[in-house]
Structure 1
Amino acid sequence: MPSHPDDPTPAEQPTPEEPAPDRPLLTLRDGLPRIVDTETGLAEVCDRIAAGTGPVAIDAERASGYRYSSRAYLIQLRREGAGTFLVDPIPFVILPRLQEALEGTEWILHAATQDLPCLAEVGLQPSRLFDTELAGRLLGYPRVGLATLVESLLGARLAKEHSAVDWSTRPLPEPWLEYAALDVEVLVELRDLLGAELEAAGKAEWARQEFEALRGFEQAERVEAWRRTSGLHRVRGRRALGAVRALWETRDEIAEHRDVTPGRILPDSAIVAAAQAMPTDRAALLATKGFHGRGAERYASRWVAALQEVATMSEADLPARSPRGDGPPLPRAWAEKDPVAARRLALAREAMSALAERTQVPVENLLTPDYLRRTLWSPPSARDAATLAPAVADQLRALGAREWQVELTGPILVDAILTAEQPA
């Protein structure tokens, strides 16, 4: 399992978007289905899904904030002519028969990048998909949470009070299961309305390309994930940085072994406090102000061992003050490092903002910000428009930009590259 930064505890998680209270509360039209956790039950589900018609609404519940892994602890499915199903994936290693039943169907998901990795873990991968959150972004909706879109387009409230519960709990309480089933109750209807809006806005092909790109989505492994430790900016000196890294990696090993989210072992604030104080023994560590957490005392010997190792580490083995990367420097450093590149970026950003306003598409959806920065920091060498335009287009495609993005933003980048080098 790839390492990841500290997950928020349930109390720290963002408050879900709540629809207006005057809307009617969405309820299950077919009642609450029983949970499926046997081979016989799963076979029946697969037969019924295969016999249904149209796209399949799919959602998955993970135990974020509780578990180290990102595995699915519940999978919800709904298809017209088949009904709604709640599948407990834990008794099954993979779900090949369910994948076979879903083969060739269009999946409807909300915020697909959250669910695709954990669905792939159990062998479920879409032939086609429609992401209602991404569709909302392309259509310019200011808020694209599922509850908000359901309220805006369907005029109903979607209860979200169980969004941060521990889905690894067994047995799952009935109110949680009802909440989970509701998440797929109206996805087919929502997809039809958003699809019609995309067609009317001339954005259906944009969406098709985006959805096709999502089919191959994989969670990127974070490089030097320990640098995302909250409060790291307060740490001074490479040895203290080394202490943060050592404590973070030790905590990550413990969390992975126990399948507990790292923050429930030791909070980031405790790591920073210990790294700043650099205590050399158990008593000093436990007396360090700010060093606390469920695993603070239980794993004290391991924290001390990590700190002692850092204390004797050679300078060459200590982490650099700035993260390593293969991309351009942070934008705030461009003016000093390359004033022409900084001007390219400023011109492009201004034009991209105008394009976002005209198209009613967020800037980050018009073009991934990293693609923009990489192209403008190291643009093709050509400096005549006829040669530069296809070179920029090829560079954007190589980075992963979709064709509709290349067509819309390529000319902006070409113009910024050429204009930035003209005399002021």
Structure 2
Amino acid sequence: MAVVNHPAPPVITTTEELAEFCAGAHKAPYITVDTEFLRENTFWPQLCLIQAATPTDARIIDPLAPDIDLTPLAAVLANHSVLKVFHAARQDIEIFLRLCGSIPEPLFDTQVAAMVLGFGESVSYETLVTKIARAELDKSSRFTDWSRRPLSDRQLHYALADVTHLRVVYEYLAGQLDKTGRSGWLDQEMSVLMDPRTYLVEPDEAWTRLRTRSGNRRFLGLVKALAAWRELEAQSRDLPRGRILKDDAILEIAAHPPKNPEDFRNLRSVPRGVVEGKLGPALLAAVQRGLDMPEDDLPKPEKVDEAPRGVGPLVELLKVLLKMKCEDHDVAQKLIAGTSDLERIAASDTADVPALNGWRREVFGEAALALKHGRLALASDGKRIRVIPVQRSAPPQK
């Protein structure tokens, strides 16, 4: 059998070509979008390729081309009459937020939509393409260095498939959402992705990324000052946080705060080059800021809610109920509640958890409270667990 060599997909390398494609995209009901980027050696994602497809056209855009301005694409992403479709959109949106200054909207994330429709938790693009588009993806270019030029035909075909199959996936999922009346469910989930705070880490909040269970507020103040310094250095130098200072080093410095450069020699996790180089004085100044932080400004230890004694069996019953309700409604359990949420529901009818609000309350929350208060029971018919309403008799009249 002869091998068929498909021609390379068209690549846009000039502003004029991009403007022509975007003129058509402005008239389309939706556009599917994906990106290829590198981040191993930088703080900010290095955008290497953009793939975009309307219902009738599909192109690869080379943002590294010397004669291209991405302004026409930014205009499409800001056009409220064109739906922007991504899969697992978070990192792509972070890129466009930095590139364009705003989040593409309106937005449709096929991974979230698939979870709402019961395809599983954090379902992959490959899984959806296989199940919905009935196609197979070529995985050979998955770990490509997308910054190198020229890109091979195989790499370009791989990249374009990320948005061409996405059209089929989107149209099917959108149809199912309409059919099941769950479009409103997805709209609620999109609110997190549409919030710029999801993607922006304020330096003073960077310390919350570090794992520490210490209740010592001065220690936490040092961690906060050091993490803020590292965040600013990483952003300004466009380097990964760990290339400035690793998490372990921050925690060790906070536990044994040095007073002078010589004291750093006793800290095993702090590289000598950091202290003796240009960053040394700034690092020592960050330590001092942590030591001088006023008591009222010191971070408070994260409050860990412990489930009240005796609610363990109830939590286990709620887990069974959650599994049943999610199977009945074809929705991923992860979208409804986690174990900590169930513990909080067991402890309080007014717990501040998603499961007791919006569509989640309809699917699970009301039933969870009914089970908790004896208005529902779980029973087995020998093959499966069933939910049985309980008719509670009225108290005898005196």
2:17 equivalent to 1:41: yes
The aligned counterpart of 2:245 is 266
Q: CA RMSD in A?
A: 4.2
1:86 and 2:61 are equivalent in the alignment: yes
Judging changes above 3 Å, is the alpha-carbon distance between structure 1 residues 37 and 135 closer, same or farther for their aligned structure 2 residues? same
Distance between the aligned counterparts of 1:64 and 1:293, measured in 2?
26
Superposed counterparts of 1:369-380, under 5 Å: 379=349
Q: Are 2:335 and 1:335 equivalent residues in the alignment?
A: no
Q: Does residue 344 of structure 2 align to residue 366 of structure 1?
A: no
- Amino acid across the alignment from 1:358: D
User: For 1:370 and 1:160, how far apart are their aligned partners in 2?
Assistant: 40
Within 5 A, what are the aligned runs for 1:19-34?
31-34=8-11
1:214 matched to 2:190? The reply is yes
Q: Which residue of 2 aligns with 1:22?
A: none
Mapping of residues 8-407 of structure 1, within 5 Å: 31-36=8-13, 38=15, 40-50=16-26, 55-69=30-44, 74-86=49-61, 88=63, 91-92=69-70, 95=73, 97-99=75-77, 103-121=80-98, 122=100, 123=102, 125-127=104-106, 129-137=107-115, 138-141=117-120, 144-153=123-132, 154-159=134-139, 161-162=141-142, 169=147, 174-175=151-152, 179-195=158-174, 198=176, 204-207=180-183, 209-211=185-187, 213-214=189-190, 217-218=194-195, 219-220=197-198, 224-230=205-211, 232-233=212-213, 237-292=216-271, 295=274, 297-298=276-277, 299-313=279-293, 315-320=295-300, 322-323=301-302, 329-330=304-305, 333-335=306-308, 348-366=318-336, 379=349, 401-403=357-359, 405-407=360-362
Moved more, 354-363 or 291-300: 291-300
Is the contact made by 1:368 and 1:401 (CA closer than 8 Å) also made in structure 2? no
- Deviations along 1:120-178, one digit per CA (max 9) or x if unpaired, are 55256334x5432123323234661113333444341342755585x7x5x66525665
- Partner Cα distance (1:50, 1:294) in 2: 52
1:118 & 1:305 partners in 2: Cα distance?
32
1:378-406 CA distance string (max 9 Å, x none): 545xxxxxxxxxxx9xx989x99544x33
In the other structure, the counterpart of 1:8 is none
Say which one has the larger Rg. 2
Q: 1:113–1:208: structure 2 CA closer, same or farther, 3 Å change rule?
A: farther
Whole-angstrom CA distance in 2 between matches of 1:135 and 1:60: 20
The equivalent residue for 2:373 is: 418
Q: How many Å apart are 1:206 and its aligned residue?
A: 1.8
SS in 1 for 2:308: helix
- What secondary structure, in the 3-state scheme, does the structure 1 residue paired with 2:30 have? strand
TM-score (norm 1): 0.67
Tell me, in whole angstroms, the C-alpha distance in 1 between the residues paired with 2:13 and 2:184.
33
Cα drift, residue 65 of structure 1: 4.3
Q: Output the amino acid matched with 1:250.
A: W
Whole-Å separation in 2 of the counterparts to 1:113 and 1:401: 24
Structure 1 residues 324-345: Cα deviation after superposition (integer angstroms, max 9, x where no partner): 6xxxx53xx1316xx77x8876
Which amino acid is the alignment partner of residue 96 of structure 2?
L
CA distance in 1, matches of 2:6, 2:164: 8
Residue 263 of structure 1 and its aligned partner are, at CA, apart by: 2.0
What is the letter of the counterpart of residue 104 of structure 1?
Answer: S
SS in 2 for 1:361: coil
Q: Could you tell me which amino acid in structure 2 is paired with residue 98 of structure 1? A: V
Aligned-partner Cα distance in 2 for 1:265–1:374: 39
Structure 2: how far apart are the matches of 1:94 and 1:270? Answer: 45
Whole-Å separation in 2 of the counterparts to 1:361 and 1:115: 25
1:18 aligns to what?
none
Contact 1:240 1:276 (8 Å CA) reproduced:
yes
* Percent of residue pairs bearing the same amino acid type: 23
Q: More displaced, 115-124 or 280-289? A: 115-124
Is the Cα–Cα contact under 8 Å of residues 58 and 160 in structure 2 kept in the other structure? no
SS of the aligned residue for 1:174 comes to coil
Kept in 2: contact 1:285–1:304 (CA 8 A): no
